[in-house]
Amino acid sequence: MSLKQIEIPNFEGIIEGRIVEEGKGEFRIELKVNKNYIWVYFILFYDLWCIRELWLVQYLDLMDPVPRAITSATIKIVIWVIPVILLVKIMEKSKPLSYLQLHHNFRKGLKWTGWVSLALIIFYFVINLIVLKNNIDFQIGFNGWLNTILLVGITEEIVFRGFLLRKLMDSFRFWIANTITALLFVSIHFPIWFYKGLFEFPYILSSILTVFVLGIIFGFVYKKSNSLWSVIIIHSLYNLLVLLFY
């Protein structure tokens, strides 16, 4: 039984703790992490990504295509993936692969992956080939394959569905958590839209609605399949379809 307990002032409402004296000069530190730390994380994450998209991009554009693609991929992994892994290990005290649902329910996820992917393919082919009469462009390039198709699905789903949605589900019902996550997912696209001059009416409304709906769908598939791989594959497939037709 403890002889004395000393409360530790909380750090911005994120970490609360106390020092417990157990006797014979021995002490034990007990820390409790507030689940709201994800908002501090997201603000810092968003700031870093804005720096990359609005400032660092001008220097990346001066590089040759392949070095630029590799550098961009490295930066995205550093900003998106590594912090989440550290937070899961340190704050959640869990194994990242298990917490992010990256090593189980893969077969169950394949069912959802197949049906949603088929729906996306049919939708895009009908809209673009039959309605809009667009042509397919297979000249994607190294950067497109690496960053837009392969890496985007992995990095963005680790942050938004694997981490943020799961954390928000600790505090909210799924549909509320999924809606919040989808809105955050929309917001992370603002910097690149602004940089490319796409923040104009009515294009911006269409972009916001598209990304929001995709975020809702990704969250729903993640919840039903209990596998992040299913969402990663669908996300990457969607980006491939966009590159093929636009």
Q: What is the pLDDT of residues 213-240, one digit of tens each?
A: 999 999 999 999 999 999 999 999 999 9
* Residues 92 and 203 occupy one common structural domain: yes
Sorting pLDDT into bands at 50, 70 and 90, what band is 182?
very high
Say if CB 76 and CB 151 are below 8 A apart.
yes
pLDDT at 9: 46
* Residues 71 and 176 occupy one common structural domain: yes
Mapped onto helix, strand or coil, the DSSP state of residue 54 is helix
Q: Which of 13-27, 97-111, 162-176 is predicted least confidently?
A: 13-27
The pTM of this model reads 0.86
* Residues 60 and 28 occupy one common structural domain: no
Nearest to 50 by CA among 212, 200, 207, 195: 195
* Residues 55 and 71 occupy one common structural domain: yes
* Residues 195 and 233 occupy one common structural domain: yes
For residue 26, list its beta bridge partners: 23
How high is the mean pLDDT of the chain? Answer: 88
Range of the structural domain that residue 3 is part of: 1-34
Q: Which of 43-57, 78-92, 111-125, 174-188 is predicted least confidently?
A: 111-125
Q: Please give the average per-residue pLDDT across 90-94, as a whole number.
A: 94
* Residues 102 and 161 occupy one common structural domain: yes
* Residues 23 and 60 occupy one common structural domain: no
pLDDT at 18: 55
- On the CB side of 142, CA atoms within 13 Å amount to 10
* Residues 10 and 82 occupy one common structural domain: no
* Residues 16 and 40 occupy one common structural domain: no
Q: Which of 44-53, 113-122, 167-176 is predicted least confidently?
A: 113-122
* Residues 78 and 190 occupy one common structural domain: yes
* Residues 164 and 46 occupy one common structural domain: yes
- Work out how many domains the chain is built from and give that number: 2
* Residues 12 and 113 occupy one common structural domain: no
